[in-house]
Structure 1
Amino acid sequence: MDFRFWKFSQSEAITEWGKELGLFGIGTLNPTAITIIAVFLLGTVEVIRASATTLGEEIGWRGFFIYELRKVLSFTGVAIFSGLIWSFWHWPLLVYYSNNVLLEFATFTIVIVSMSFIMTYYTFKSKSLWPAVIFHAVSNVYIQKIMPPLTIKDEGTEHWLGENGIMFAIVTCVFGIYFWHKGLKEHI
C-alpha cells in the first residue's frame, strides 16, 4: 500500500464539487481551497439536510423500538438486538450495491451493531433521539459523500475502505465497545 497523505485521489470529484458549489469564477481557487469549502458546507448544510431523512428513521429505531426493547432487555441486549434488526433492514441494499456480498454483510453488520451501542447509549442518556439523528446524519454524510472522493484507492484496498470496508468496521467496533462498557458502568 502506498501511504500518500494530503493528496486527493479523485481530482475530478473535487472539480465537480467546485462546479456544484459555484466556486469557479469567483477568483482563483485551488483544489485544496475548494475541498476545504466543500467539506465545510457538506459538514454543515448537508448534515442539516440529511438530518431530515435520518429523523424519520430514528423516530422508529431510537424513538420507539429501543424503548420497547428496554422493557424486556438490558442495555446490551437492546443495542445488539436493535443493531442486528437495523442491519438486516439494510441488507437488501447491500445485495444490490455490493462487490463482495458476504464480506460486506459481515462488515456492515459489525458497523451497525457498533453504532447501535453508541446511539442507544446517547439516546438513553439524553432521553432524546436528537443525538442519534445528528450522529446518523453526520455518519452518512462523511462516509458516503465526503470521504470517498478524498480517499486514494490503490489496488488491494477495495475491501478496506468505504462504508462497508474492514477499516470502518474496526473503528466503529472499537467505539462501540467503549460505549458498551460506558453504558454498563453507568447502569444505562
Structure 2
Amino acid sequence: MRITSTRIATAAALGTAALLTACGSMAPMSSFSQASLPATIQVPAGNKVAMETVGKGDINYECRDKKDAPGQTEWFFVGPVATLSDRMGKQVGKYYGPPATWESMDGSKVTATQLAVAPSGTGNLPFQLVKANPAMGTGSMTGVTYIQRVALTGGVPPAMACTATNKGQKATVPYQADYIFWKAA
C-alpha cells in the first residue's frame, strides 16, 4: 500500500484534533483552597494566590537558658534553611533566617511579620500566617501581601532533653511545608 502525502496530512490533522479534544476535556488545575484551614490563618478577602511552593529543609535549634527562668533550659528556635520548589519539583527559591526570608531564584525576596499560628498536628510545626513586608528587588516576590505555611511535616524541637549539661548543643530537625504566596487581587 502506497501512503500519499494527502493521507499523511489527514492522519496528522486527525491526531491533532484528538489531542486538542483530550486537552480540552482535562480538568483545570485546581487553585489552592484555604477553606479547611483554621480561620485565624486564612488570608483576608481581596487577595489571590500568586505562587504555591513546597519548602523542604531543616529547622535549627540550640539548647539555651530559658528567658526569664534562671536555671531552666529549653530548645531555642535558631532558624530555617529550606529549598522552595514549585509543584513540579523545580527549585524556585529558598527560605532561611533569621529574619525569616523567602527568596526567589530571580533575586527578589521578602521578610514578614507573624500574624497568627494554629496547631497542625502532633510532631509538626504549627500553621502560620505572616504579613509580607515590601519586597526587596524586583521579581516574583514583588507585591506579595501574605504568606501561609500549611501542609506541615516535622520541624518541632528535638525529643532529646535540653539540660544544663548539654547547654549550647545544636540540633537540626528535618521538615517540609507548603508556602502559599498571596498578592492583592
Question: How does the TM-score come out when normalised to structure 1?
Answer: 0.22
Q: Which has the larger radius of gyration?
A: 2
Question: How does the TM-score come out when normalised to structure 2?
Answer: 0.22
Higher RCO structure, 1 or 2 (CA under 8 Å, sep 6+): 1
Pick the structure with more strand per residue.
2
